[in-house]
Amino acid sequence: EAEVDPDGEYSNMSRAELIAKIFDVESGSLDFAKSAFDNVVAQVKFFNKGLEISTEGLDALKEVRDGELVSPQED
């Protein structure tokens, strides 16, 4: 576990700046996840060129459970 440095990189930022930074990081994470999801879909299509693969209804935020595409359960 990393220790917090009170004089570290974010020590001189205001609350608003810190919140903006958090939103920026979260946005970047979501962009990366979407890109990774789109890449996997493209690879599945590439390796199955002879098959017609439907991507209708694909959702990176859903999961397959008991043969159904559903929203993830909250823990």
Q: How much of the chain exceeds pLDDT 70, in percent?
A: 99
pLDDT at 13: 87
Bridge-based pairing of strands 68-70 and 63-65 is: antiparallel
pTM: 0.56
d(C-alpha 56, C-alpha 17), whole Å: 39
d(C-alpha 36, C-alpha 29), whole Å: 11
Q: Please give the average per-residue pLDDT across 39-56, as a whole number.
A: 90
Burial bucket for residue 41 (CB in 10 Å: 0-12, 13-18, 19+): middle
Q: How confident is the model at residue 43 (pLDDT cuts 50, 70, 90)?
A: very high
Domain boundaries, the chain: 15-70
- pLDDT single digits (tens) 19-33: 998 888 888 888 898
d(C-alpha 45, C-alpha 16), whole Å: 44
